[in-house]
């Protein structure tokens, strides 16, 4: 079901990641202001964009679950959110490392972008206890979907916070005028964004394959034990 097209997707992900890393270290010029430390940007920003996009995608899948009642959409939504939480953790850690190297602090509390991302991340950490505190699978899926939709609507606030940020400590990357990135840096950034998006899709599919197979094995075990009981 989910394994269709997985191998070419995984191969494309590996190639795009290798290409992106080669562009980062051998093609993109050193930043005039930050120097070599700016290389963190190529991993931190795509990871943040993909994590936020993944949370929104989780909300859209949750809408599909509530509309259709098909529990496979709930599973897709759960995996999307789960994967984005992992990337979100990566964003916070790489961001802290970058902040330490360029601002001299591990964390800056008066920076709206950082704090709003942390708020969104913590919001999604609540998803797990909410989901797994409900035993009935139907209710679990429904409540988790409502949470995913509400939280997914909150995510764009993080993007708006970037635009509204008064102190320009945190750099703007994407704007309608094309941002301030020179051509080589822009190309490298887009390659990293593509690679990160492909990585997210590949891992999402991989976890779905594992979950689907696990469910099938459980169903098979149940059927076998039922047949055994009937035979006895």
Partner 1 sequence: MPALPLDEAGKYVAGAYVVFLTLIVVYVAIIGAKIARIERDLAELTEEDDAR
- Tell me which residues touch partner 1 (CB under 8 A): 31, 33-37, 39-40, 43-44, 47, 86-87, 89-90, 93-94, 97-98, 100-104, 199, 203, 206-207, 209-210, 213-214, 217, 220-221, 224
Minimum gap (Å) between residue 169 Cβ and partner 1: 11
Q: How far is the CB of 144 from partner 1 (least distance, A)?
A: 20
> From CA 142, how far away is CA 66, in angstroms rounded?
7
Nearest distance, CB of residue 206 and partner 1, angstroms: 6
> Taking the complex as a whole, how short is the minimal distance between the CB of residue 25 and partner 1, in angstroms?
9
Q: Which is nearer to partner 1, 44 or 145 (CB)?
A: 44
The answer to whether 55 and 125 are in contact (CB under 8 A) is no
Angle at 187 between CA 186 and CA 189, to 5 degrees: 65
Residue with smaller CB distance to partner 1, 24 or 149: 24
- Distance, in Å, from the CA atom of 103 to the CA atom of 169, rounded to the nearest integer, reads 9
Least distance to partner 1, CB of residue 166, Å: 20
79 near 207, Cβ under 8 Å? yes
Q: Residue 105 contacts by C-beta under 8 Å, 6 or more apart in sequence?
A: 99
Residue 110 backbone phi and psi in degrees, to 5: -95, 15
Q: CB atoms < 10 A from the CB of 68, how many?
A: 10
Q: Which two tokens stand for residue 156?
A: 């764009």
């Amino acid at each position: 079901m989910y394994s269709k097209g997985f191998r070419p997707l995984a191969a494309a992900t590996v190639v795009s990641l290798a290409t992106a890393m080669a562009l980062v270290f051998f093609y993109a010029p050193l930043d005039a202001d930050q120097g070599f430390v700016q290389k963190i940007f190529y991993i931190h920003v795509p990871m943040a964009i993909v994590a936020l996009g993944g949370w929104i995608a989780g909300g859209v899948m949750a809408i599909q679950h509530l509309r259709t009642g098909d529990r496979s959409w709930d599973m897709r939504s759960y995996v999307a959110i789960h994967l984005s939480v992992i990337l979100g953790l990566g964003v916070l850690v790489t961001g802290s490392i970058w902040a330490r190297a360029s601002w001299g602090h591990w964390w800056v509390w008066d920076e709206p972008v950082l704090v709003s991302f942390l708020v969104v991340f913590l919001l999604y950490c609540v998803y797990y206890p909410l989901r797994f505190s409900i035993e009935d699978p139907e209710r679990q899926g429904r409540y988790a979907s409502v949470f995913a939709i509400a939280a997914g609507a909150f995510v764009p606030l993080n993007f708006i916070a970037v635009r509204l940020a008064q102190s320009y400590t945190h750099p703007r990357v994407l704007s309608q005028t094309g941002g301030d990135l020179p051509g080589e840096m822009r190309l490298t950034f887009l390659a990293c964004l593509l690679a990160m998006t492909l990585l997210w899709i590949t891992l999402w599919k991989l976890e779905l394959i594992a979950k689907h197979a696990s469910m099938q094995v459980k169903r098979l075990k149940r059927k076998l034990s039922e047949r055994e009981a009937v035979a006895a």
